[in-house]
Amino acid sequence: MGHYVLLIVEGRLWRRKSKKKNQEKRIKSVTEISKEDATKQETSAQISKEEGKLNEEKFKQIKEGMTLEEVFKIVGSKGKVISETGTNGDSNHTVIYEFETAGAFSTANMTFQENKIINKTQIGLN
């Protein structure tokens, strides 16, 4: 087997025997290679885009009675406080959090009392 040189000419990857000119063989076009890489990157990009965002799978894991910290761990981020009544430490201290969701037209809220979830609602998660 001889030695080959790899060349990129007009966006295509070529293999050429180093001893003989004009005996080039097309291996894969750069576009084909780029499509393979793009698929791999798209998969990892979807994962990273959803980190810290609530989706249906995460929402289903959240159960009544879980602590605030347990919910934050599942979601991957802290929600935004949209309502709070009472004083922290009181039995009536109630906080409603809104969480960033993975869907474009979705929303999710969770109500905590004494730092434990007592209600969760969502619209449009998938």
Sheet of 24-29, strand order: 4-9, 12-17, 24-29
Integer Cα distance of 13 and 37 in angstroms: 15
- Is residue 39 predicted with pLDDT exceeding 70? no
- Is residue 1 predicted with pLDDT exceeding 70? no
Burial 49-62 (b: 16+ CB within 10 A, else e): eeeebbbbebbeeb
Q: What is the mean pLDDT of residues 41-66?
A: 74
pLDDT tens string 80-112: 999 999 998 888 999 999 999 988 889 999 999
CA-nearest of 91, 62, 65 to 79 is 62
For the chain, list the domains and their CATH numbers: 4-50 (no CATH), 56-123 (3.30.1450.10)
Confidence class of residue 3 from pLDDT cuts 50, 70 and 90?
A: low
